Chain A
Amino acid sequence: MSLTGLVIPLKGGIVMDMKRMNKIVEVNPMARWAVVEGGTSQGMLKAYLQKNHPGLRHSLPDAPAATTIAANVSLHGQGRLTQQYGFNSDMVTGLEVVLPTGEICRIGSPSIGPHWFSRGPALPDLSGLFLGWLGTTGIITRVGLMLYPNKKIRDVELFVTDRVELIPEMLFRLTHLEMLEDINVWFQPKPLMFQDNFHITIYFTGDDDEEIEFKRKKLWGVMQPYIDSRDGGFMSIQYIREGLLEMPQRSIADFADVPKGGGFEYSGPIVPIDHFPRYAAKLVELAAKYRLLYAGAARLISGGHSMMFAVSFAFNRDDRDLMARVKEALEEATEFALEQGGIPWKPNFIEQKMILKKMDPSTRRIFAMIKKNLDPRGIMNPGNWEVE
């Protein structure tokens, strides 16, 4: 479900379906971590916690619930708690990995004891040999994952503006509060009610009404200057509230059926938040150039140091010409992101080559060294992260 074809066997081989290795091995409710097997889905951990530890949650991405936790961390996914705590892979507290040699290897605190509380520190952090490598250095069979407080109430506000240049500043002010859950910015031409505006969805949580209302007051407070200057305002969300609060937000997939064709794909570079306006402009430009239906969405990461900016295009699988145009547009988006100093996220094999080409040669050498040493025969997800 990576939407970039990361499990297509580019050079033949065996595709491993991990989903039957799906146990939730352990939850430490006090230290707030869970250990799950390599095929455990996001949906299952969510349901398990809801039932057994309702005071805890994990950083659920908006990917379909069937997607696996191990895959998500191996591509540096982001979820509902990424704005507060970083990439979902930053929340890993230990790994068990099967190396290409067949050895089973534990990473972090589980390598020296029974407790899955740290993926590296105070040791050298070896998890970086597997996280972000898209399965090209080993197969993750267990993941330790940080859990977080699941506050009793979750609420959402939607701020709307047509002043794209003000968005970085707005996000800066919102993150300064240090009290919001997730922050997403999105814009799309369809349906018409959303056209020509940028929407900032602001999620916040609390254990009681007092906490919720305090946070609401604060976030309204930081946006008040934009309301006063008529640069934006909070939108009534009566009819879309339920959908916005859903986790995972299933309606995201709806975009795929707008051209009645079952597909959309996005290039989602990780970029500094002040670059939002240029990516927004590029997306609209690409959509016009390639005659595509677009949606733009950004999710803040780690309190606003960066964001994932999704350049999404919907297509119809029965329309080969449209699919070819989407592919070209996405490649151009990746080229643009690299020019701007962004990092393409979950890059497909073509984008991986573009990244490696742009990479500092000494970094590329380390990259090649690691890959060669861990997978000397190139048997893991061949065609991906190959340094020529």
Chain B
Amino acid sequence: MESEASCSQNTHAIKHGDIVHRCFRCGCCKFPSDYNDFNCPSYRAFGWDTYAPGGRMWLIRGWMEGEIETNQRFAEIMYACAVCDNCKNQCVFPRFRDALPDIFEEVKAELVEEGVVPPPVRDYFKAVATNGNPYKLPQATRGDWAKGTGIEKFSGPEYLFYVGSVGAFDEVGMKMARSVARLLLKAGVSVGILADEETCDGNDGKAMGQTGLFQQLALDNIGKFRQKGVKKVITLDPHAYNTFKNDYPALGADFQVFHHTEILAELLRGKKLALCERSGKVTYHDPCYLGRHNGIYAPPREALKAVPGLLLTEMRQSGVNAFCCGGGGGNFFTDMLAAGEDSPGRVRVRQALETGAAVIAVACPNCAKMLADAVKTEGLEERLAVQGVAEIIEQALS
């Protein structure tokens, strides 16, 4: 029941506003299930409750009631969330925990409406709106990553391989994309790419509250896919996978979506790729948009385990308790999560180091880049490499 007093004071309204006061501030949201470390990337980075989901909920309550005004500081705190979904999994209140990420997204949407967003967020929106990608690179070069792989432009094959902006423009992402493309072709998969016709999927823009831009991108992609007769999409990137799977259907999408590790696992299971012995120890980092957001934990592991001789070892925070690399929720581009010793990427590579593995296997180009940078900052290049699951498989091809 809402008291009149509290209603009349409200200065900001969000869809799930009636839930905000129900947060008990117990703080479970910032832990993994065994409490062995903090598992909220922004709390881990800053160390203040303000940056934990519970702290954000309380700030939001103050903001909704007019005790806190919209300003850059408030926006910075909201945008420092990596949308990793740990809070949703750890919150002890089953009756509303699923709404936590929605609440944070709705607040960001309100900030976008009010025009108060941190400068890097503003720049991201502008770059995507004008260039179709956050790198501000010409659309004409979007398919350049594929040169030499043999993959061709989509012309009605069974699958579309959608690489996303990071796969298309970032050096680390491009490497991953090439491996996937080559493996798909080697296994005889009928697949093509959109190349210079591909545009951003909109997942991160949506996570940053830019619902207008997201809708535009999504409708554009849906129309394009339909026009080209795309029925099945393989994504390089779990971010694209997430929005294709969970957001696009409500806007009329009717294609099936797979993450590339699901397809690789299936190909390996069907003996479509022959692998030879590769010794060594690898640890797998679960991307939040693949793991917690979509429950895909087994296929990448299955693919890695298919490599004879390769030893897969788990970090102390893995699966549903995996610690985020810090690159979700647009932070890959906006870098709102401090760069110090406790930055999520650096924490994560130290966790990987503890396992004794020589390689961190990744299934997301954003994670690949975040972790590769963190390995360098930690001075661990001699001891740890970051490689895509597909790259590891490719190296083991006989």
Contact = CB atoms under 8 A, between A and B. Distances in A.
Contacts of B47: 19-20
A249 to B, nearest CB: 10
Contact of B34 (A50, A250, A253): A50
B3 A65 contact: no
Interface string B73-111: 000000000000000000011011000000000000000
Give the one of B35, B49, B96 with max A CB within 10 A.
B35
Contact of B3 (A17, A251, A260, A320): A320
B6 A65 contact: no
Contacts of B92: 250-251, 253-254
A65 B3 CA distance: 32
6 contacts: A43-B31, A66-B28, A250-B28, A318-B1, A319-B1, A322-B1
Given A17-B48, A318-B1, A47 B34 contact: yes
A318 B21 contact: yes
A51 interface: yes
Contacts of A1: 25-27
Nearest to A321: B3
Interface string A28-42: 000000000000010
A232 interface: no
Contacts of B30: 66
A56 interface: no
A257 B24 contact: yes
A309 to B, nearest CB: 22
Contacts, number: 83
Interface of B: 1-3, 5-6, 21-28, 30-31, 34-37, 47-49, 92-93, 95-96, 316
B21 A262 contact: yes
B93 A254 contact: yes
Contact of A318 (B3, B26, B49, B95): B3
Contacts of B34: 47, 50
Nearest to B3: A320
Given A17-B48, A64-B26, A261 B21 contact: yes
A5 to B, nearest CB: 12
A57 interface: no
Contact of A47 (B21, B36, B48): B36
B129 to A, nearest CB: 38
A43 to B, nearest CB: 3
B28 A65 contact: yes
Contacts of B28: 64-66, 250, 253
Nearest to B95: A257
A316 interface: yes
B291 to A, nearest CB: 21
A46 interface: yes
Given A44-B37, A257-B95, A319-B2, 19 more contacts: A1-B27, A19-B49, A46-B35, A47-B35, A47-B37, A48-B36, A64-B28, A65-B28, A253-B24, A253-B28, A257-B22, A257-B93, A257-B96, A262-B21, A316-B21, A317-B21, A317-B22, A318-B1, A318-B2
Contact of B35 (A20, A44, A257): A44
A41 B23 CA distance: 20
A39 to B, nearest CB: 10
A263 B24 contact: yes
Nearest to A258: B95
Contacts of A51: 36, 316
DSSP class of B's interface residues: helix, strand, loop or mixed? loop
A256 interface: yes
Interface residues of A, number: 33
Nearest to B5: A320
Contacts of B316: 51
Nearest to B49: A17
Contacts of A261: 21-22
A317 B316 CA distance: 37
Contacts of B5: 320
Interface string A252-271: 01101100111100000000
A64 B96 CA distance: 18
Given A17-B49, A257-B22, A316 B27 contact: no
A50 B32 CA distance: 14
Nearest to A39: B47
B31 A262 contact: no
Interface string A305-323: 0000000000011111110
B1 A262 contact: no
Contacts of A322: 1
Contacts of A251: 92
B280 to A, nearest CB: 25
B243 to A, nearest CB: 31
Contacts of B24: 253, 256-257, 262-263
Contacts of A320: 3, 5-6
B62 to A, nearest CB: 12
A65 B31 contact: yes
Contact of A65 (B23, B35, B48, B95): B35
B91 to A, nearest CB: 10
A44 B261 CA distance: 34
A174 B97 CA distance: 39
Q: Which 3 residue pairs of A and B lie closest in terms of their CB atoms, listed nearest first?
A: A43-B35, A66-B27, A47-B36
A53 to B, nearest CB: 14
Interface string A148-180: 000000000000000000000000000000000
Contacts of A254: 92-93
Nearest to A50: B34
B86 to A, nearest CB: 14
Given A318-B2, A318-B3, A321-B3, A64 B48 contact: no
Contacts of B27: 1, 64-67
Contacts of B6: 318, 320
A318 B5 CA distance: 9
A256 B96 CA distance: 12
Nearest to A250: B92
Contacts of B49: 17, 19
A216 to B, nearest CB: 28
Interface in A228-285: 250-251, 253-254, 256-257, 260-263
Contacts of A64: 26-28
A122 to B, nearest CB: 36
A316 B1 contact: yes
B22 A260 contact: yes
